[in-house]
């Protein structure tokens, strides 16, 4: 569990003292912390209070934070490149944002310069894997084709076969 600015009390205590209103887990209404009907898991407190760019329920956030296993290929200040656990090509890696940014926000232009930085890492990875000489395919799923809202890019190589929507 995260700790507040004074590092002496858990975030949930600080939230309770401040009586911050947070949406109820069941309904649309808002209930105050401390209300007998209100409950909030410590992981949700961490998400709301400590780092809004980390979602503890997101597998990619867990991988970035080291809470879930992965095979790292490349890492920069802003991105992590890992081998895909379920590859559809001989070379299949994922370029993950280290922060939990959702596709609708990255596509809308909310983060200025985001795509330049992301594709810089994508092409560094392509060169590192030697795919710039043998060929590669980039896939960015969305609008129902993506399994995760956390922004990421697939880099596929080592085969001329079309993955046929399996990324």
pTM of the model: 0.67
36 and 72 together in one domain: no
Q: How much of the chain, in percent, has pLDDT values that exceed 70?
A: 63
46 and 125 together in one domain: no
CA pair distance 114, 106, nearest whole angstrom: 7
Catalytic residues: 152
> Using a CB cutoff of 8 Å and minimum separation of 24, what contacts does 114-120 make?
117/78, 117/79, 118/79, 118/151, 118/153
Q: Output the six-digit token pair for 24.
A: 């109820």
Contact yes or no for 47/56 (Cβ under 8 A): yes
Higher pLDDT, 24 or 73: 73
44 and 78 together in one domain: no
5-14 per-position pLDDT tens digit:
444 444 444 4
Q: What is the pLDDT confidence band of residue 85, given thresholds at 50, 70 and 90? A: very high
pLDDT value for 107? 84
CB atoms within 10 A of CB 33: 19
pLDDT value for 19? 43
Q: In residues, how long is the chain?
A: 167
The CATH number of residue 96's host domain is 3.30.428.10
42 and 79 together in one domain: no
């Amino acid at each position: 569990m995260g700790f507040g600015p004074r590092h002496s009390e858990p975030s949930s205590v600080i939230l309770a003292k401040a009586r911050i209103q947070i949406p109820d887990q069941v309904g649309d209404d808002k209930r105050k912390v401390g209300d007998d009907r209100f409950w909030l898991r410590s992981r949700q407190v961490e998400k709301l209070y400590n780092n809004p760019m980390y979602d503890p329920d997101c597998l990619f956030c867990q991988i970035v934070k080291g809470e879930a296993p992965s095979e790292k290929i490349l890492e920069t200040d802003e991105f992590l490149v890992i081998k895909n656990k379920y590859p559809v090509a001989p070379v299949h890696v994922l370029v993950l944002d280290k922060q939990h940014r959702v596709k609708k926000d990255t596509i809308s232009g909310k983060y200025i310069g985001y795509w330049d930085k992301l594709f810089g890492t994508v092409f560094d990875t392509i060169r590192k894997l030697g795919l710039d000489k043998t060929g590669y395919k980039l896939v960015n799923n969305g609008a129902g084709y993506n399994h995760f809202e956390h922004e990421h890019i697939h880099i596929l190589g080592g085969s001329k076969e079309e993955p046929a929507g399996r990324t």
